[in-house]
Amino acid sequence: MQGQARLAAGRTERGAPSLSRSRTLDFLRGLAILGVIANHVSQSFPSNIQAIDYAFLCGWTGVNVFYFVSAVTMCLMWTQRAGETSPTRKFYVRRALRIAPLFWLAIPFYLAINGTGPSYNAPNGIGPLQVILTATFLHGFWPDSVNSVVPGDWSIAAEMTFYLVFPLLITAFGSRRRLYLALALLLHLVNVCLFKPWAFELFSAYYGPGHDSFVGATLHISFLNQLPVFLIGCALFFSLRDGFTRSDAAIFVVFVALSFCANRATGAHEFNYLIINLVLGAMVAGCIRFAVRWSPIEALGRNSYSIYLSHFAVIGGLQLIWPLADGLISLLVTYAVSAALSYLVARATWHLVERRAQDLAQRLTSSATRALRPEPFTAVRVA
């Protein structure tokens, strides 16, 4: 209970902007899903203008923004519910019913559309193993089950695995943000120096010649390589709540320096990824600090999960019927159409699936929960 009390007791300042979970975080989710759609649209409908296509391809960073927002949101929800009974069980119920129902529907849908034959993401085809691993959210731990059954499902595997370990992390670390950063640094170095080289040799031998690119890509998107992003997001939450200090900056400097040395020693090519994530984290912190909002993007953010799952099918459908030749006009129009159609699909799935699942989660978790008055989360000025 003392640990719960420490989590709930955040430092605040008069006049500091409070974080509205339904506005600023939804805005960030909206930006993230717009980036993801841009990335995939540009792959199917290139403008053939190098600068434009490169800018659209950079939308892949939207997934990492999702990771930061997810970590901040989980910390916010956990601290606001610090007084409820059985918090871990209720956390798992809420997260499972938020993610699983729609994802399980996506599995047969995409199997019917894309089939089970060999592909880049499944060199030997899709069988019962890939389907079972995907349905149980374990697909992130085996290369040819990642992205093979449901397009883009690697990020959902990372999210669900993070949800699995999050109650353990926040119960052990509480609001001590330097522990999150220390663990992030340790895992990053273990991945770059030990796990990635070992796993690359193992899976390259397993899949045979010609699949080195596939193996390298799956190891890059593995949970071990993504977990430091979530951990930095947790540290970001408590830094925003309690104030940044010089020691926080010093830890980041050490993080960058050690990552650079490890990258030069091993050639793991993860240093640039770390720097990109630190820049994204600063952007997320800035949006939260200044309470950035815009209703149209927030609307996309509130439906970003369903948009993420459906936009692959929307883009694939547009490829079959699109009348315009590749070019800037085609890219911009398909981008707008893909976002709009995916949003309409998301609204439909909200009423048909997601709302019912969240109502069930509310019934399962509210019976023994007393009324709580959440502590406001305030992003204080930089110390």
Are 353 and 106 in contact by the 8 Å Cβ rule? The answer is: no
Distances 26 to 165, 203, 237, 292, 354 between C-alpha atoms, Å: 24, 38, 16, 10, 17
Left (φ > 0), alpha (ψ -120 to 50) or beta: where does 224 sit?
Answer: alpha
Helix or strand run (H / E) with residue 119: none
Burial 366-381 (b: 16+ CB within 10 A, else e): eeeeeeeeebebbbbe
* Dist. CA 75–CA 73, nearest whole Å: 5
What is the average pLDDT score of the chain? 90
Residues 34-51, mean pLDDT to the nearest whole number? 97
* Dist. CA 153–CA 312, nearest whole Å: 11
Is pLDDT at 20 greater than 80 in this prediction?
no
Distances 46 to 1, 60, 127, 313 between C-alpha atoms, Å: 55, 15, 33, 18
Left (φ > 0), alpha (ψ -120 to 50) or beta: where does 152 sit?
Answer: left
Name the pLDDT band for 366 (thresholds 50, 70, 90): confident
| Structure tokens, 208 | 């045979």
Question: Domain residue spans in the chain?
Answer: 2-366
Q: What is the pLDDT of residue 18?
A: 53
Residues 80-106, mean pLDDT to the nearest whole number? 93
DSSP state of 118: -
Are 227 and 186 in contact by the 8 Å Cβ rule? The answer is: no
* Dist. CA 74–CA 169, nearest whole Å: 11
Residues 303-316, mean pLDDT to the nearest whole number? 97
Are 36 and 63 in contact by the 8 Å Cβ rule? The answer is: yes
Q: What is the pLDDT of residue 19?
A: 55
Are 27 and 297 in contact by the 8 Å Cβ rule? The answer is: yes
C-alpha 173 chain-centroid distance: 21
Q: Using a cut of 0.75, tell me whether the model's pTM lies above it.
A: yes
Residues 339-364, mean pLDDT to the nearest whole number? 96
**What Rg value do the Cα atoms of the chain yield, rounded?**
21
Name the pLDDT band for 196 (thresholds 50, 70, 90): very high
What is the residue whose two structure tokens read 């699909």? 345
Is pLDDT at 53 greater than 60 in this prediction?
yes
Q: What is the pLDDT of residue 267?
A: 82
Is pLDDT at 380 greater than 90 in this prediction?
no
- Model confidence pLDDT, tens digit, residues 144-174: 999 999 999 999 999 999 999 999 999 999 9
Q: What is the pLDDT of residue 220?
A: 95
What is the residue whose two structure tokens read 């398909």? 334
Taking residue 353's Cβ as centre, other Cβ atoms within 10 Å add up to 15
Name the pLDDT band for 83 (thresholds 50, 70, 90): confident
Name the pLDDT band for 269 (thresholds 50, 70, 90): confident
Residues 42-59, mean pLDDT to the nearest whole number? 97
Which range in 4-8, 315-319, 378-382 is most confidently predicted, on average pLDDT? 315-319
Residues 123-136, mean pLDDT to the nearest whole number? 96
Residues 362-382, mean pLDDT to the nearest whole number? 57
* Dist. CA 101–CA 358, nearest whole Å: 10
Name the pLDDT band for 17 (thresholds 50, 70, 90): very low
Q: What is the pLDDT of residue 9?
A: 44
Taking residue 306's Cβ as centre, other Cβ atoms within 10 Å add up to 22
Q: What number of residues does the chain have? A: 383
Residues 202-220, mean pLDDT to the nearest whole number? 93
| Structure tokens, 233 | 């997001």
